[in-house]
Amino acid sequence: MNIFYDSASETWCHDQKDAVLFAGAEEEELSYNKELSDQILCPITKFPGNRVLVVGILTSFNHKKEAGLGGNVSLFRDLSLYLFQHGILAYAFTGKELTSGSMKGYVFSSDANEWIECKMPLPDIVYNRIPSRGYEASAEYQSLTKHFNEHNVTIFNPGFLDKYEMHETLLEDGSLAKHLPATTILQNRACLESFLDTHRHIYLKPCKGSQGKGIYTICKNPDDTLLFSSLIRSETFSNFDSFWETKKKDLLKRNYLAQRAVIPKKLLGHRYDYRILVHYEKGFYKVTGNAVRMSQTQEITTHTPRGGKLYPYQNLQTRRLNLTLAKIAQKCGEILSKKSGFFGEFSMDIGEDESGSLFIYEVNSKPMQFDEKEIEANRLLHLKNLFIELTFSNRIIK
What average pLDDT does the segment 267-292 reach?
A: 95
What average pLDDT does the segment 107-120 reach?
A: 90
Q: Rounded distance, CA 64 to CA 51, Å?
A: 36
77 has a pLDDT exceeding 80? yes
Closest CA to 291 of 385, 166, 379, 365: 379
The domain segmentation of the chain, as residue ranges, is 2-156, 163-179+264-392, 183-260
Contact predicate 77/108, CB 8 Å: yes
Between 163 and 37, name the one with better pLDDT: 163
pLDDT of residue 260: 96
pLDDT of residue 49: 74
34 has a pLDDT exceeding 80? no
Band (pLDDT 50/70/90 cuts) for residue 360 is very high
pLDDT of residue 309: 86
What average pLDDT does the segment 147-173 reach?
A: 92
299 has a pLDDT exceeding 70? no
What's 36's DSSP letter? T
Residue 102, Cβ neighbours under 10 Å: how many? Answer: 11
Q: Rounded distance, CA 55 to CA 58, Å?
A: 9
Task: Report the mean per-residue pLDDT for the chain.
Answer: 89
Instruction: Give this prediction's pTM.
Output: 0.91
pLDDT of residue 395: 39
pLDDT of residue 143: 87
What average pLDDT does the segment 170-188 reach?
A: 95
* Partner residues linked to 31 by β-bridges: 13
Closest CA to 105 of 153, 40, 58: 58
Q: Do domains 163-179+264-392 and 183-260 have the same CATH topology?
A: no
What average pLDDT does the segment 353-375 reach?
A: 95
pLDDT of residue 36: 66
Residue 243, Cβ neighbours under 10 Å: how many? Answer: 23
pLDDT of residue 397: 39
Residue type, 172: E
275 has a pLDDT exceeding 50? yes
Band (pLDDT 50/70/90 cuts) for residue 91 is very high
Helix (H, G, I), strand (E, B) or coil at 119: strand
From residue 279, give the alpha-carbon distance in Å to each of 42, 56, 324. 26, 18, 16
283 has a pLDDT exceeding 80? yes
CATH topology of domain 2-156: Rossmann fold (3.40.50)
Between 329 and 144, name the one with better pLDDT: 329
What average pLDDT does the segment 215-241 reach?
A: 93
pLDDT of residue 241: 96
pLDDT digit string, tens, across residues 245-255: 999 999 998 89
pLDDT of residue 100: 46
Contact predicate 41/109, CB 8 Å: yes
Number of helices (H), then strands (E), belonging to the chain: the values are 8, 25
CATH architecture of 163-179+264-392: 2-Layer Sandwich (3.30)
398 has a pLDDT exceeding 60? no
Report the percent of the chain where pLDDT is more than 70. Answer: 92
Residue type, 350: I
What average pLDDT does the segment 131-140 reach?
A: 89
pLDDT of residue 9: 85
User: Counting every residue, how long is the chain?
Assistant: 398
Considering the four listed CATH numbers 3.90.930, 3.30.1330, 3.40.50, 3.30.1490, the one that applies to the domain covering 183-260 is 3.30.1490
Band (pLDDT 50/70/90 cuts) for residue 39 is low
CA angle, residues 39, 44, 45, in degrees to nearest 5: 160
H or E segment at 82?
helix 73-85
What average pLDDT does the segment 184-213 reach?
A: 91
What average pLDDT does the segment 6-31 reach?
A: 89
Cα radius of gyration (the chain): 24
Task: End-to-end CA distance of the chain: give it in Å, rounded.
Answer: 31
